[in-house]
Amino acid sequence: MSQPRLPRLYNELAYLWPIISPPSNYEDEAEVWRNTIKDKLGQGRHRVLELGVGGGHNLSHLTEDFQATAIDLSPRMLDLSKKLNPGVEHHLGDMRSLRLEETFDAVLIHDAIAYMVTEDDLAATFETAKLHLRAGGLLIIAPDWVRETFRAPMVFHWVRNGKSNGGDIQVTIQEYLHDPDTSDTEIESVFTYTIVEDGQERIEQDTHTTGLFSMATWTRLLEEKGFQVETVRLPLNEGGYSGFLFVAELS
């Protein structure tokens, strides 16, 4: 298992996350997650575990309906989620090796799944999910891309205004998403953040290495762990990412 490498956005630049990708952006998508959980598991305040919760933005729209526990590899992202989701139990952990010794009705993995860059990473994460689910439990995963929807290179760019330490902040984000080596399962996003804070402008760069797998690979790896797999389309998100959910039931 390779050592996890945290991008700067989840380290010293984590304070930018709520500005770059505010919780309100996740409202429509979270509705699909909520409806999917209720359709599959019925009504009730189900116990859910989110792996790679990040700032907890997607989760913040689900805590009214479900009892949540959340983990992340980054202490700073975990702190953001704790502040936003005070009723949620939080733990520091790696989704590939976490062992909480308890089971849940559903395990949720949002875009954090992107940081699984090999089939072994995915298989280890699905094992974690399986060990934390009751029989008949649900695993829901939302990869940003699969091989079939990915076209390289792509450029995304957006501007955000917000508050940081009580002062105004503007962040212009440019993402250059490309595939430096088409023979492996890794792709790369090079982010440039132009930050105007307290009247001062500065530029920061950050590289995120993420995984890319075909639908057939996703399905095979999930089935090998005993899941039955369906896919559900998500509304197009603001950045232009076209996503869907893998909805996997543990037999």
Site residues (CB under 6 A) for ligand SAM? 4, 6, 10, 26, 51-52, 54-58, 72-74, 77, 94-96, 110-112, 115
Cβ of residue 22: shortest distance to ligand SAM, in angstroms?
A: 10
**C-beta closer to ligand SAM: residue 111 or 249:** 111
Say what angle helices 215-224 and 119-131 make with each other, to 10 degrees: 40
Strand duo 244-250 + 133-141: pairing: antiparallel
Contact 116, 146 (CB under 8 A): no
Cα–Cα distance for residue pair 213/55, rounded to 1 Å = 25
CB of 92 to ligand SAM, least distance (A): 9
Whole-number minimum distance, CB 191 to ligand SAM, in Å?
12
Residues 202 and 12 sit within 8 Å (Cβ to Cβ): no
Q: Which is nearer to ligand SAM, 108 or 195 (CB)?
A: 108
Nearest residue (beta carbon) to ligand SAM: 54
Q: Rounded CA gap, 54 and 206, in Å?
A: 17
Pick 51 or 245: Cβ nearer ligand SAM: 51
Write down the least CB distance from residue 37 to ligand SAM, Å. 16
Smallest gap from residue 164 Cβ to ligand SAM (A)? 17
CA 53 to centroid of chain Cα atoms: 7
Q: How far apart are CA 85 and CA 232, in angstroms?
A: 26
Of 83 and 178, which CB lies nearer to ligand SAM in the complex structure? 83
Q: Which is nearer to ligand SAM, 115 or 227 (CB)?
A: 115
> Can you tell me the distance from the alpha carbon of 212 to that of 150, in angstroms, rounded to the nearest whole number?
8
